[in-house]
Amino acid sequence: MASGNLNKAERIAYIDDRLQTLYPETPVPLDHRDAYTLLIAVLLSAQCTDERVNQVTPTLFARAATPLDMVALTVEDIRSIIRPCGLSPQKSKAIHRLSEILLDQHDGEVPADMAALEALPGVGHKTASVVMAQAFGLPTFPVDTHIHRLAQRWGLTRGRSVIETEKDLKRAFDESRWNALHLQIIFYGREHCTARGCDGRVCEICRTCYPARKQPKRCHKA
């Protein structure tokens, strides 16, 4: 590898190829049965690890795996189960209310529509994007704070927000790759390019894209 840094086109091609090689399979890290249980799991994952969510959801879904069963529980019932995930007061209210809305407005089904999903309590753009991608297979590029950090380290964006980074990543990569890349970047970040374990000069992708980088890469927080 030459000592100079790769240009943007070279970085995009290398990252795309390397991530496909490292992670040819992209299993959804949140355990779920269908679109509704995925929606609830993604909502619970806000400021919580996937591992913790996967520890909590079996108990929750044993009690209520459909909107009809969920509204039969009280908000306090839900909160007592999901408490380990953090933010349980807000999340329990959101889960109960969105389940009511799904029954009232969507025949108890999770809508395959971004605007309708974003209108649900507790469901922001990132959560809606994950559900659209992983439940319905529609091309989105959900960007969380971890993807935002890696995209900056890899010179794929100068965005100061996850929304700006999402737009830049969608421009950089073919639409057919968006859903898998979202997970592949997450997997790579957890394994190799962590917040504290890499400063833009440590992991394989950072070193390959920027072999001449002398200083730690300062990233804008989302």
Active-site residue 126, yes or no? yes
Exactly one of 91, 126, 167, 217 is catalytic; name it: 126
**Coarse DSSP helix, strand, coil percentages of the chain, rounded to the nearest 5 percent:** 60, 0, 40
Q: What are phi and psi of 25, to 5 degrees?
A: -110, 140
Active-site residue 144, yes or no? yes
Amino acid identity of residue 37, one-letter, is T
* Residue 140 to residue 128: CA distance in whole angstroms: 9
Exactly one of 8, 144, 168, 170 is catalytic; name it: 144
Amino acid identity of residue 112, one-letter, is A
Structure tokens, 11: 């970085």
Closest CA to 120 of 141, 91, 82, 140: 91
**Alpha-carbon 11 to chain mean position:** 22
Other CB atoms within 10 A of residue 10 CB? 12
Closest CA to 45 of 156, 126, 151: 126
For the annotated catalytic residues, the residue numbers are: 126, 144
